[in-house]
Chain A
Amino acid sequence: MGRAIIVNTIRFILLIAIQVFLLKNTGYYNLSVPYLYILFILLLPFNIPNGLLFLLAFVTGLTVDVFYDTLGLHALACTVMAFVRIIFISVTVQRDGFDNEPEPRLGIMGFRWFLFYAIILAFFHHLILFSFEAFRISQFGYTIIRVMLSAVLSTFLILITEFVFYRKKVR
């Protein structure tokens, strides 16, 4: 339990730092913008209470917002993403099969599951983020293209990060 808190805290600080100091300045003509920090919410343990999950997502989004000068926007997207995460996990994973606080990692869950997990959550996060950033329906076509391309790029970065810290199945 204590180890999980330490690991997640370090992960939080590292991902936020990479996001706001490095990835904030990258992107493909504002069409494809990577948001790697959502990996923190993706990798939270399975057995985390829903309230804590929402609170952490909210705080994460708010922290990024402070650096991006868009107060509330990322918090909104992360809140929705937390909800999607709960639905997705409840549909695809049997909760009883896990002991020892396992996390939804690539090495534990397998490549196919993790790919769907990452791409669906990234899609919903970016959809909410870009929709509320544009805040109008008239540019919906442009917004949806941005969502697609950014989701692909973010998922790509998430997978690379996971492969770097690959850990073989312990079970």
Chain B
Amino acid sequence: MRNLWLFISKYNAFFLLIIFFTISLIIMVNNNSYQHASVWNSSNQLVGSTYQRVNEFSSYLVLGKTNDSLAAENARLRNLLKSSFYSDSVKQVSVNDTLLKQQYTYTVAKVINNSVHQKNNYITINRGKNHGIGKGMGVISSTGVVGIVLNVSDNFATIRSLLHTETKVSASVNGNIGSLVWGEGNFDARYAILKDIQGHLVVNNGARVVTSEFSLFPQGTNIGRVAKTGVKGDDSALNIQVKLDTDFSALQYVYVITNMLSKEQISLEALNKAE
């Protein structure tokens, strides 16, 4: 204790400095608004940044729980998403014309399953029997022919794509009718083969290929353009390679064609076979 007093009295100037310095500092900070604000703002900032650091660290400890809650919330939000609901409304384009009788109506459908790399490709759409889709109807997209309806359930339909070895579409180029097939020698989704065009006819590259009046599609529906003539096929005839306008790998929406007169046509043609 005595040594402590000796120590303090020996260095009394220093201790007096500390005492008076502290008193002056307190007086200054408390009575000058600028210094007052500086001190309290910086101390608040210090406290705030410290809390932030601590919070950053402690958030690691509850990371698993946070992940769980986020995943649960994601699932809940996904359930609310528009794509989770099956839309039952059907858009049908139909014009009531008294002079011309409507023959074809179009039903919009969304492609929900699609393949292009198989030997026989099929497409599934989200429209079926409930929406008036029937077996054998033609399907087109905005750029051209897509295929023919193969099977129908209540809410879905499968389509035999144009990229199918058994699909045959009656097509015409420059008014000459042939048969459009796919898969004879090439399995490229971008090209199809037009057969049965007579050999003496001159067909230019780039000539437009459309459906003929014999097909179940409306006459003149777009298919593609002539890419190469004189392709050697299985038989002796020379075929025409057609570049398809429709990009089958990027198919999103298709139109199913309802032919109002097909029933009458079929029943009439059935009479011929009966005789």
User: Which residue numbers of A lie inside 8 Å of B, CB to CB?
Assistant: 50-51, 54-55, 57-58, 61-62, 70-73, 75-76, 79-80, 82-83, 86-87, 132, 135-136
* Contact (A54, B17) CB under 8 Å given A71-B32, A72-B32, A135-B35: yes
B5-64, CB < 8 A from A: 12-14, 16-17, 19-21, 23-32, 34-35, 38
Say how far B27's CB is from chain A's closest CB, in angstroms: 3
Q: Which of A50, A58, A135 contacts B13 (CB 8 A)?
A: A50
Chain B: which residue is nearest A84 at the CB level?
B17
Contacts of A50 in B (CB 8 A): 12-13, 16
Q: Which of B16, B24, B29, B38 contacts A61 (CB 8 A)?
A: B24
Task: Please tell me if the beta carbons of A135 and B38 are within 8 angstroms of each other in the complex.
Answer: yes
* Contact (A76, B35) CB under 8 Å given A50-B13, A50-B16, A51-B16: no
Chain B: which residue is nearest A83 at the CB level?
B17
Task: Please tell me if the beta carbons of A72 and B17 are within 8 angstroms of each other in the complex.
Answer: no
4 nearest A-B pairs in the assembled complex, by CB-CB distance: A72-B28, A72-B27, A76-B24, A71-B31
User: Which residue numbers of B lie inside 8 Å of A, CB to CB?
Assistant: 12-14, 16-17, 19-21, 23-32, 34-35, 38
Task: Please tell me if the beta carbons of A79 and B28 are within 8 angstroms of each other in the complex.
Answer: no
Say how far A101's CB is from chain B's closest CB, in angstroms: 20
- Write 15 A-B pairs (CB below 8 A) sorted by A numbering: A54-B16, A54-B17, A54-B20, A58-B20, A71-B27, A71-B28, A71-B31, A72-B27, A72-B31, A75-B27, A76-B24, A79-B17, A82-B17, A87-B13, A135-B38
- A67–B24 Cα gap in the complex (Å)? 16
Task: Please tell me if the beta carbons of A72 and B29 are within 8 angstroms of each other in the complex.
Answer: yes
- A50–B27 Cα gap in the complex (Å)? 22
Task: Please tell me if the beta carbons of A75 and B13 are within 8 angstroms of each other in the complex.
Answer: no
Q: Which of A51, A57, A58, A136 contacts B12 (CB 8 A)?
A: A51
Task: Please tell me if the beta carbons of A75 and B16 are within 8 angstroms of each other in the complex.
Answer: no
- A82–B29 Cα gap in the complex (Å)? 21
- A73–B26 Cα gap in the complex (Å)? 10
Known: A54-B16, A76-B28. 13 other contacts (CB 8 A): A50-B16, A51-B16, A54-B13, A58-B23, A71-B27, A71-B31, A71-B32, A72-B25, A75-B27, A79-B17, A79-B21, A82-B20, A87-B13
Contacts of B38 in A (CB 8 A): 135-136
Contacts of B14 in A (CB 8 A): 83
Contacts of B25 in A (CB 8 A): 72, 76
Task: Please tell me if the beta carbons of B21 and A76 are within 8 angstroms of each other in the complex.
Answer: yes
Contacts of A54 in B (CB 8 A): 13, 16-17, 19-20
Chain A: which residue is nearest B21 at the CB level?
A79
Say how far B20's CB is from chain A's closest CB, in angstroms: 4
Task: Please tell me if the beta carbons of A75 and B24 are within 8 angstroms of each other in the complex.
Answer: yes
- A70–B13 Cα gap in the complex (Å)? 25
Chain A: which residue is nearest B12 at the CB level?
A50
Task: Please tell me if the beta carbons of A73 and B12 are within 8 angstroms of each other in the complex.
Answer: no
- A55–B26 Cα gap in the complex (Å)? 16
Contacts of A75 in B (CB 8 A): 20, 23-24, 27-28
Say how far A81's CB is from chain B's closest CB, in angstroms: 10
Say how far A57's CB is from chain B's closest CB, in angstroms: 8
Chain B: which residue is nearest A72 at the CB level?
B28
Between B12, B20, B27, B29, the greatest number of chain A beta carbons within 10 A of the residue's beta carbon is seen for B20
- A70–B12 Cα gap in the complex (Å)? 28
- A82–B20 Cα gap in the complex (Å)? 10
- A72–B27 Cα gap in the complex (Å)? 5
